[in-house]
Amino acid sequence: MSQKVKLRKAGGSIAATLPKDMADRLKLATGDTVIAIETDRGILLTPYDPTTEEALSIAAEVGRKYRSALRELAK
Question: For residue 45, what pLDDT is reported?
Answer: 86
Domain count, the chain: 1
1, part of any domain: no
- DSSP E strand stretches across 1-75: 7-10, 13-16, 34-39, 42-47
pLDDT tens per residue across span 41-72: 999 988 888 888 888 889 999 999 999 998 99
53, part of any domain: yes
Bridge-partner residues for 10, per DSSP? 13
What distance in Å separates the CA atoms of residue 15 and residue 26, rounded to the nearest whole number? 18
| 35 band by pLDDT with thresholds 50, 70 and 90 | confident
List of long-range contacts for 16-19, beta carbons under 8 Å, 24+ apart: 16/45
Section 22-37 average pLDDT: 90
Read off the CATH number of the domain in which 65 is found. 2.10.260.10
What distance in Å separates the CA atoms of residue 20 and residue 73, rounded to the nearest whole number? 43
